Amino acid sequence: MNFLEERIQRDGIVKEGNVLKVDTFLNHQMDIGLFRQMGEEWKRRFAGTPINKILTIEASGIGIACIASEYFDVPVVFAKKSKSVNLDGGMYVAEVESFTHKCKNQVIVSKKFLGPEDRVLIIDDFLANGYALQGMISIVSQAGATVAGIGIAIEKGFQPGGRTIRNLGYHLESLAIVEDMDAETGKIWFQEQNENAG
Ligand code: 5GP
C-alpha cells in the first residue's frame, strides 16, 4: 500500500451511499505533510509533461492544489461555485452535479485566468462519477487550453468516472483507487497500482 492508501485504511470512514469520509486528514482538517507527499507524487507521475497552470474546484480541491503547486511552481486557479445566472460574458461556465450534495452548481472561471496558451493540470480530491472533472475539462476546452493531465487523490474505482475519463484519452493519475468498500464492516479494498508508486 502507498502512503495515501495506508492513511485511508487507518482514518477513512465508510458511510452509506458510497461515501468515504476523510475529513480528519483531507477535506476538513488537512494534513499538510500528507499533501506534500501527494504533491511530490503527482510531480513524479507527471515528470516530463509541460504544465503551466493547475485548475481545481472549490472547496476541497483548493488545499491539495495549492500544496501541489509548490512542486510544479505554477499558479492555481479554482473553479468557483456560482448561483448567479446573469454572468457578464467574462467567464467560462460549466454545470456540475454535486455527488455529495445531490444538487447542480454552475462553476465559473474568469477568462482572465485561462487561455489557449495554457497546459493545465486538473487536481481534485475525489473522483466518483466524474461530473466535477467533466465540468473542469469543459472549462479548459472553452478556453482553448489543453488538459495536460489530471491528478486525483482518491478515485472510487467502483463508480464510472475513472473509466469514462480514461476512455476519453486523458492522462489520469489517482493516488489511491478504492476498488470496493463496505459501510457495514468499514472495510476498504484498494486496486493494485501497477507501477512503482512511492
Ligand atoms: P464526481 O463529480 O466525480 O461524481 O464527484 C467528485 C466530487 O464529489 C469531489 O469533488 C468530492 O468533493 C465529492 N465526492 C465524491 N465522492 C466522495 C466521497 O466518497 N467522499 C467525499 N468526502 N467526497 C466525495
The confidence score (pLDDT) of residue 133 equals: 98
Contact 163, 96 (CB under 8 A): no
- Distance between CA 73 and CA 92 in Å, rounded? 24
Edge-first strand order for the sheet with 91-97 is 91-97, 104-110, 76-82, 53-57, 119-127, 146-156, 172-181, 188-190
User: What's the pLDDT tens digit per position in 123-172?
Assistant: 999 999 999 999 999 999 999 999 999 999 999 999 999 999 999 999 99
| Pocket of ligand 1 from Cβ distances under 6 Å | 19-22, 27, 60, 99-100, 124-132, 156, 161
15 vs 89, which has greater pLDDT? 15
* DSSP at 193: P
Distance, CA 154 to ligand 1 centroid (Å)? 9
**Range in 92-101, 103-112, 156-165, 175-184 with the lowest mean pLDDT:** 92-101
Mean predicted lDDT score pLDDT of the chain = 95
Radius of gyration of the chain (CA): 16
Which residues fall within 8 angstroms of residue 144, CB to CB, at 6 or more apart? 115, 116
User: What's the pLDDT tens digit per position in 65-88?
Assistant: 999 999 999 999 999 998 766 667
Assess whether pLDDT exceeds 80 at residue 37: yes
Ligand 1 atom with the shortest distance to the CA of 22: 22
Write the residue with the smallest CA distance to atom 22 of ligand 1.
21
The confidence score (pLDDT) of residue 197 equals: 46
Ligand 1 pocket test: pick from 105, 125, 172, 174 the residue with the most ligand atoms within 8 Å of its Cβ. 125
Q: Which helix (H) or strand (E) covers residue 107, if one does?
A: strand 104-110
What predicted TM-score, i.e. pTM, was given to this entire model?
Answer: 0.96
- Distance between CA 131 and CA 98 in Å, rounded? 8
Assess whether pLDDT exceeds 60 at residue 195: no
